[in-house]
Structure 1
Amino acid sequence: MRLRLILSLALFAGSSCARLSRPELQPASPVTAIGSEEVLPSPPVEMGEVLEPMVPTPVPPRRPAEAGPNWSARAPASAPRTRSQSGRLAAVAAPGDGVVACDVVNDDVPEAECRDYERQKARLAPGLMSFDPPTTMLVGMSYELTLSVGLAANAEAVRAVVRQEGRRLEERAIPVGKYMTASLSGGAFQIESTGQEGPARTLGADRSDVWQWRVTPLAKGKQRLLLTVSVEAMGPGGARSRFALVTRPIEIAVEVSPADAQKAKADDREKRLKQGTSMLNLLRDWLMALAAVIAAAGGVWLGIRRFGREKPAGETKGASASAPSPSSARGA
């Protein structure tokens, strides 16, 4: 009886332990079918859980059959990832930043910089430049020359800045933009820029500005001035790239004033007189040298003749002793 009771208690304890250790079966999660594949839903994320960044493992590409001996397997660059509002990571495509051939500036620049140049060129507007060089100039006299640039729609206002009585207007249609540069050059002129601003300008919304120079001719004759105007784009760091270039050669007849002409004639006469005086002095010195040579030659010639006429004294006395006297010759 006791043995049966002990066995019953042992069986009851064993069944209880087995029931406690056996896990309860959970209801199966629903399966979502996408195409021909089955995708299990992700487990729910509890509030406060922080997801670690997902770093993809690079997979090297397979070696192609036609690859050479210098081929090396490189893992493809992965796109940057960002965390979405739901807490998951999403890939973001990196913008193109390679160097491209930019036609608007005719140069190889980064793609973003080229797009900025294209936007700047799209803002260029039809414009006009007006310049007022005189037809003739006088040597040594200074002249103020003015260049006006503005929109073609404001042509009369552009001309009014430079219009002066007795001067011609050199005009040309050009594109105008925010950044422009103008310069004036000429080898036969002394040219100074007037004003505080330099040749490179930043134009306002009205796209108008004025350049001025003080020009002094240095030599008479037909001379040439060269006017250069460029429309530019502003690049990174303040570097400028040219959109368009306009050059305008200008012929100018440079003369001398009447007073300067008289002075030049007087200087020329004085110069010639000095040259004549110096020639006379040279001729005088030459004649004096020639006279000295003639005198020296005459002295030598007289000396030679005198030496030929004179005889030694001993020869004269001996000749007179050996010769018979007339009286002795008669006695014989």
Structure 2
Amino acid sequence: MRRFVLPALVLLLVLSGCDNRTEVTNASYTETDNAEAPIDAATGNAMLTEAAPAACPAIGGRQASPAQCAEYTRQANALTDGIAAFDPPGKMRMGAPETLTLVIGQAADAAAVTNAVVGDSGDANMVRTEKVAIGENVSAELSSPNSMFRIAPEGRVVKPMPARGQQIWQWSVEALVPGKHKLTLTVGVPILGAAGEVWQPVLEPRTFEIDVQARPRTWPEFFDDLAKFFTSLKGALVALAAVIAAVAGVWLAVKNFGRKAEKGGEEGEG
């Protein structure tokens, strides 16, 4: 009987020691957790808190949480070599809108990107190409100093870049004033996140000079100008006739006055 009692007592002591260690461990964890995290009043449990925002190098030192900064950094490190092709015209007609096209793709597909801009015209000499960095998203903007052109759409246009292939931007551009004026193309990569959008230029603004010529007159405008011309010509003829009549009247008056003077002299001699 004693042989069974002694092992049983030892077993109870061992189990009692394990329970105490478990309670101490749990108490220690709870105390530590409560000290570092705020307590939810409704549940009494500790609430998880996000680390305080700090300067994030990927977005120029702007404040962001560690998780947000990690996402910005991932997008910034995802930039790859690309190519941009654009077809600015050398000349335009005032009041005649034209479509200008920008195509951006992988640098390895430079020929395909250029051909996408050339289209049916077949004139690759009119296409300007530039090396750019491309990311998951790319933005492009076409602008005009002093509003010499009407451009649609206005502002930066952000588009996602496909893993393969190209992305296309198109603008309707109408010249408003004759003369030599400039269009400016700006390309950048927006890095998007919960803390806001950060736009990073990947191509210095490219400026193109356009020679805007006065547009040809339409037929209605031509006939309207012709009618105005004849109206003004009619007025000029009427004025000229009045001047001729006045001159003729003066000439006749002088002639008649001379005749009367000669006649008066003859009568005096008689």
Equivalent residue number for residue 125 of structure 1: 80
Residue 203 (structure 1) aligned to one of 156, 161, 164: 161
Asked if 1:235 is matched to 2:235, the reply is no
Q: Which has the higher contact order (CA 8 A, sep 6+)?
A: 2
Counterpart of 2:126 in 1: which secondary structure? coil
Q: How far apart, CA to CA, are the structure 2 residues paired with 1:269 and 1:135?
A: 35
Q: How far apart, CA to CA, are the structure 2 residues paired with 1:182 and 1:78?
A: 51
Q: CA deviation at 1:165?
A: 4.1
Q: How far apart, CA to CA, are the structure 1 residues paired with 2:188 and 2:227?
A: 50
Q: How far apart, CA to CA, are the structure 2 residues paired with 1:95 and 1:120?
A: 25
1:103-182 aligned within 5 A: 103-106=57-60, 107-163=62-118, 164-166=121-123, 168-182=126-140
Counterpart of 1:182 in 2: which secondary structure? strand
8 A contact 1:179–1:203 mirrored in 2: yes
Equivalent residue number for residue 150 of structure 2: 190
Residue 213 (structure 2) aligned to one of 242, 250, 255: 255
Superposed CA offset, 1:291-320 (max 9, x none): xxxxxxxxxxxxxxxxxxxxxxxxxxxxxx
TM-score, normalised to structure 2's length?
A: 0.61
Q: How far apart, CA to CA, are the structure 1 residues paired with 2:56 and 2:158?
A: 23
Asked if 1:223 is matched to 2:181, the reply is yes
Equivalent residue number for residue 299 of structure 1: none
Q: How far apart, CA to CA, are the structure 2 residues paired with 1:188 and 1:217?
A: 6
Distance of aligned partners of 1:57 and 1:135 in 2 relative to their CA distance in 1, 3 Å threshold: closer
Asked if 1:244 is matched to 2:198, the reply is no
Q: Which amino acid aligns with 1:244?
A: P
Q: How far apart, CA to CA, are the structure 2 residues paired with 1:223 and 1:236?
A: 40
Q: CA deviation at 1:259?
A: 4.4
Bigger radius of gyration among the two: 1
TM-score, normalised to structure 1's length?
A: 0.51
Q: How far apart, CA to CA, are the structure 1 residues paired with 2:76 and 2:139?
A: 16
1:1-332 aligned within 5 A: 44-46=17-19, 53-54=27-28, 55-56=30-31, 78-79=35-36, 97-106=51-60, 107-163=62-118, 164-166=121-123, 168-186=126-144, 187-193=147-153, 199-206=157-164, 208-236=166-194, 239-246=196-203, 247-259=205-217, 267=225, 270=228
Q: How far apart, CA to CA, are the structure 2 residues paired with 1:193 and 1:228?
A: 14
8 A contact 1:126–1:151 mirrored in 2: yes
What do you get for the CA RMSD once the two structures are aligned?
4.2
Counterpart of 1:56 in 2: which secondary structure? helix
Q: CA deviation at 1:176?
A: 0.3
8 A contact 2:106–2:166 mirrored in 1: yes
Q: How far apart, CA to CA, are the structure 1 residues paired with 2:31 and 2:23?
A: 18
Superposed CA offset, 1:250-305 (max 9, x none): 11001124547xx68x959958x86xx69x99xx9xxxxxxxxxxxxxxxxxxxxx
8 A contact 1:140–1:217 mirrored in 2: yes
Distance of aligned partners of 1:42 and 1:222 in 2 relative to their CA distance in 1, 3 Å threshold: farther
Q: CA deviation at 1:148?
A: 0.3
Q: CA deviation at 1:221?
A: 0.3
Q: How far apart, CA to CA, are the structure 2 residues paired with 1:103 and 1:243?
A: 13
Counterpart of 1:133 in 2: which secondary structure? coil
8 A contact 1:130–1:149 mirrored in 2: yes
Distance of aligned partners of 1:50 and 1:207 in 2 relative to their CA distance in 1, 3 Å threshold: farther
Q: Which amino acid aligns with 1:202?
A: P
Q: Which amino acid aligns with 2:74?
A: R
Q: CA deviation at 1:125?
A: 0.1
8 A contact 1:129–1:171 mirrored in 2: yes
Q: CA deviation at 1:184?
A: 1.4
Q: CA deviation at 1:182?
A: 1.3
Q: How far apart, CA to CA, are the structure 1 residues paired with 2:193 and 2:97?
A: 38
Superposed CA offset, 1:62-95 (max 9, x none): xxxxxxxxxxxxxxx8446xxxxxxxxxxxxx99
Q: Which amino acid aligns with 1:183?
A: E
Unaligned runs of 5+ in 2: 1-8, 38-47, 243-270
Which stretch of structure 1 is more off in the superposition, 248-257 or 184-193?
184-193
